[in-house]
Structure 1
Amino acid sequence: MDVENTVRAAVLDHFGVERAQVDSASLTFLGLEPVEILRIPGDGAVHYATLGGSRHPMGDPTDLLADPVRGPRAELVLTLLMSADSQVGVAKSLGVLVASPAVEGVVLQADALLDLGEPLWRNAKFTAVVLGESDIDPIELPDPAEPVRYLSVTPVTATEAAWVRVRGAQALRDAWAEAGIDVRDPERGAVNL
């Protein structure tokens, strides 16, 4: 089963781009297969989509034998309104996040709060992210494998991360909507909570 090429074709089709229009970076973590980060130009935005996180299903790290086929599979997508000059470090951060199931046993799912403890890109005020549902349709794989789901990545400030820990991710999304905050804007301030 060629999961990576199936996922690549689906995500490029979703954004309506050809492979030649997309830049990519490859990251390797000790003991893991490489992870690729696609940089997809959009209408006034840049989309970063991971490839490689869904090669293997996520599972409980305490299981003695991991199921090589069954289990949830996830990739990440981050959309930012930013110039190419300010994107240094985004690929590395996304690589660390998408590799966290294999490295730390984390299961990537909507409403999860993940904290890197360092800026997500050069000069960013965000060190954590909240995952959510994305508008990329689940990518079907041959049975019995579960579909690959793309999860949206939303950068959050330390204050917003604390809010998620106390009130939950949906409460933060509601506060953003009420304040009219565009979470794709890398220069945005924290919502007043």
Structure 2
Amino acid sequence: MGEILDLVEARLRTALGEPDARAAVTFLGTDRFEVLRFLDSQGGSGVVRYATLGMSAQPMTDPSALLADPLKGPRAELVLSMRAGLADTDQVLRPMAVLAASPQVEGVVVAPGSSLDLGEPLWPGAPFSSVLVGEPGGLVADLELDAPLEPVRFLPLLPMTPNEAAWKRVRGARELEERWLARGTDLRDPLRASVPLD
């Protein structure tokens, strides 16, 4: 499925520019996963984006399915956007590869509204150990593939503090996103505190 990954990388480059760094991680019994870093300094925004490459090589399958279909099933890559220079966010490369490997390792289907928990900070000293998976189609458009393959969707990751993750488990993703929006939360701030949840 190397041709799929070539198309995915081309789509990422079209949307985000040329990557200025990349790292590769291989886990026992899985494919190779890469994480590409894109620095967006246009207009002084100073946003760094990290995108996985390799998750979409295989479709995600329902863990309850008796037999995995090698062609059909959702495909995705993950994208994390953070303000550059405020924290050592480059240490997120391996954790992002771990998240990208979760469909192969744990048999989970990563979809908008779901939570992914690392059990450790996203980078050393980060106030986040889990992420909320956002809706695709904003930053990087879906990549259509030839039938019967489903499109590759580029899913944004929204870091959650432990309090936000616990609140999301009880109240749901939509209510957490509405709370972030109502409070004007900067989800790209690597140092942000938890949104008030009272």
**TM-score, normalised via structure 1 length:** 0.94
Task: Give the CA deviation at 1:84.
Answer: 8.2
Query: Which of 106, 123, 128 in structure 1 is aligned with 2:108?
Result: 106
The answer for the alignment partner of 1:167 in structure 2 is 171
**Other structure's SS at 1:70 match:** coil
Give the CA deviation at 1:127: 0.5
The answer for the alignment partner of 1:36 in structure 2 is 34
| Structure 2 portions without partners, runs of 5+ | none
In the TM superposition, what are the counterparts of 1:12-161 in structure 2 within 5 Å?
12-15=13-16, 17-18=17-18, 21-43=19-41, 44-83=46-85, 86-134=88-136, 135=138, 136-161=140-165
More off after superposition, 51-60 vs 79-88: 79-88
Q: Is the 8 A contact 1:28 1:35 kept in 2?
A: yes
Preserved contact between residue 164 and residue 171 of structure 1 (Cα < 8 Å): yes
- Contact 1:133-1:152 at 8 Å conserved across structures: yes
Report the CA distance between 1:87 and its aligned residue: 2.1
Match of 2:50, SS state, is strand
Q: CA deviation at 1:62?
A: 3.7
1:85 CA drift (Å): 6.2
Cα distance in structure 2, aligned partners of 1:146 and 1:88: 31
1:88–1:122 CA contact under 8 A, matched in 2: no
The aligned length equals: 190
Letter in 1 for 2:171: R
Deviates more, 1:107-116 or 1:84-93: 84-93
The one-letter code sitting in structure 1 at the alignment partner of 2:194 is A
Letter of the structure 2 residue corresponding to residue 40 of structure 1: F
Query: How many percent of aligned residue pairs carry the same amino acid?
Result: 47
Contact 1:72 1:148 in 2 (8 A): yes
State the secondary structure of the residue aligned to 1:150: strand
- Within 2, Cα distance between the matches of 1:167 and 1:64? 32
